[in-house]
Amino acid sequence: MKILKYLLIINSCFISAWLNAAEDPFKSTFWEYVSEKHLEGKPYYFDDRIKVSGPDFAENSAQVPIRVDAIDFPSEQIEKIIVFVDFNPISHVLTFKPVQQVQPRFSTKIKLEKASPVRAALLDKQGNWHIGGVFIRASGGGCALPPSGDQQASLQNLLATKSHVVPRSSSTRIKLKTIHPMSTGLQAGTEEFYVNNLTVLNEKEEVMAEIEMTAAVAQDPSFNLTSDQNNQFFLVELEDSKGNKAKKRLE
């Protein structure tokens, strides 16, 4: 009887996995865990239209560049895009919500604890996830060691923001970097302290994109975004986990 019960449980697991019609292309041992944690129990598909790129090797695991590109996905169908890393102690990296006038495409730098799939999951308006990813090799220590760079300097210039805006014929490249230690709190004697909200607005102060982050984003977070308008300047609003706020003009 007991055996039968186990069989039923095992069987139902198989069925639910099969219904998702999705086998993790990286065959990650953490897939079940991270998918349950981040995908809100909604159906998911591995989808080539969601492209994540990064270097083959992290090189500096405290500053790993990634690009998420969902430009091939119908933009009116996009609810949000989340980025997560299977083997990071803080697996959720960020949530990107394109609101208007912004392409579903961005670059940033993240921390990698060790070699891991780095995934982007796009939630469509029907409540289905579309997932892409890249595997990045790393020698480890990105999260467990102090992030490279001078954290003290980041504290002194907290939320100071540098930017570079390049208007193109029918779009505008926006690059921004804001100074913040982005402490994970995982090292002894440190506390978690990071930027949790970054909002990009247009000249009329209308929200274009909202980004929620965790301390898994690299120290001094940097973002590359593309506006599909030809604007001269933008605004950014920042808020960190201690309630410090800043509003800057990007130009």
Binding site for another protein (CB under 8 A): 53-57, 59-60, 63-67, 107, 109, 139, 162-166, 173-175, 177, 222, 224, 251
Closest CA relative to residue 120, chosen from 159, 78, 153: 78
Give the SS3 label for residue 19.
helix
Q: Cα–chain-centroid distance for residue 110? A: 8
Pairing of strands 51-53, 64-69: antiparallel
Which of 115/186 has CB closer to another protein? 115
Q: Cα-flanking dihedrals φ and ψ of residue 153, to 5°?
A: -60, -40
Question: Nearer Cβ to another protein, position 20 or 229?
Answer: 229
State the minimum distance, in angstroms, from the CB of residue 128 to another protein.
Answer: 27
The position carrying tokens 């982007």 is 120
In the complex with another protein, the residue whose CB is nearer, 199 or 219, is 219
Closest approach, Cβ 41 to another protein, in A, equals 32
Considering beta carbons, is residue 20 or 107 the nearer one to another protein?
107
3-class SS of residue 75: helix
Report, in Å, the least distance between residue 163 CB and another protein.
Answer: 6
Q: What kind and span of H or E run contains 18?
A: helix 2-19
Minimum CB distance to another protein, residue 34 (Å): 23
